[in-house]
């Protein structure tokens, strides 16, 4: 029986979309479990998984046991990376 490549491509595309959505849901759930945000708020504020990953990295720095100056230096070192995340969070607070 020959393979219907069009159907195969469609199945693969659907699987990719479903797995991405499941991953986004898991990321939002993890973040909401350690913040005061709900899953829906996390997904709304950070729909891009790359931004969600940056948020987690920023939160790790903030919640670390390092002293304040070390945390500030770590954040400043990655200011370009965290800029969009910080802006989104501050916009939510304002």
54-88 burial, b at 16+ Cβ within 10 Å, e below that, comes to: bbeebeebeeeeeeeeeeeebeeeeeeebeebeee
Indicate the number of domains in the chain: 1
- Which of the four pLDDT bands, split at 50, 70 and 90, describes residue 20? low
Q: pLDDT (tens digit, 9 = 90+) per residue, 34-82? A: 667 788 888 888 888 788 888 888 988 988 899 999 999 999 999 999 9
Structural domain that includes position 10: 5-93
* pTM recorded for the entire structure: 0.62
pLDDT at 34: 62
Q: What backbone torsions phi and psi does residue 47 show, to the nearest 5 degrees?
A: -70, -20
């Amino acid at each position: 029986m020959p393979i219907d490549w069009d159907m195969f491509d469609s199945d693969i595309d659907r699987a990719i979309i479903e797995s991405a959505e499941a991953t986004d849901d898991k990321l939002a759930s993890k973040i909401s479990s350690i913040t005061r945000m709900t899953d829906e708020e996390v997904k709304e504020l950070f729909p891009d998984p790359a931004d969600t990953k940056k948020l987690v990295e920023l939160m790790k720095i903030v919640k670390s046991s390092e002293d304040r100056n070390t945390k500030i230096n770590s954040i400043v070192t990655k200011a370009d990376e965290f800029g969009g995340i910080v802006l989104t969070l501050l916009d939510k607070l304002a």
